[in-house]
Amino acid sequence: MAAYSLDLRKRVLRAWDRGMKADAVAATFDVSVAWVYRLVQRRRETGSMAPRAQTKFRGRALSSDEEARLVALITARPDATLAELQRALPTRAALSTIWRTIDRLDLTVKKNSTRRRATTS
């Protein structure tokens, strides 16, 4: 979601400074009451009404080359365990990361029928 414009922020703060209550300001400008209070607090604490910088999230643990290699490994040996795939890549990514990547790529890692657990007769 994009941040509210500086023009809207100025108008909200002007209305607040004129003595309007937070719920009236929120209704007038179609914003939430909590956002009005946060804007007033931000101006009081930092002296700025500009929005905060967006959070930069950490990138993927596996590069696109490693993902391509993972697809090739699974295609060649679909019965490999996650630990075997991790050693074959080689990567420092955790097993859970490899599993989430396999799931995101919509691949399946299945054991073949000879590795099934024996059933009782």
Torsion angles phi and psi, residue 97, rounded to 5 = -65, -40
pLDDT at 32: 96
pLDDT number for residue 13: 96
Q: What is the pLDDT of residue 112?
A: 55
C-alpha–C-alpha distance, residues 8 and 31, integer Å: 10
Query: Counting runs of H as helices and runs of E as strands, what totals does the chain give?
Result: 6, 0
Q: What is the pTM (predicted TM-score) of this model?
A: 0.50
Residues of the chain with pLDDT under 50: none
The residues, any chain, with a CB within 8 Å of residue 58's CB and separated by 6 or more, are: none
pLDDT for residue 54: 82
**In whole angstroms, what is the distance from residue 12 CA to residue 49 CA?**
10
What pLDDT score does 49 carry?
92
d(CA 6, CA 8) in angstroms, rounded, equals 5
Question: pLDDT value at position 120?
Answer: 58
Can you list the alpha helix ranges (DSSP code H) found in 32-120?
33-46, 64-76, 82-88, 95-104
pLDDT score for 6: 94
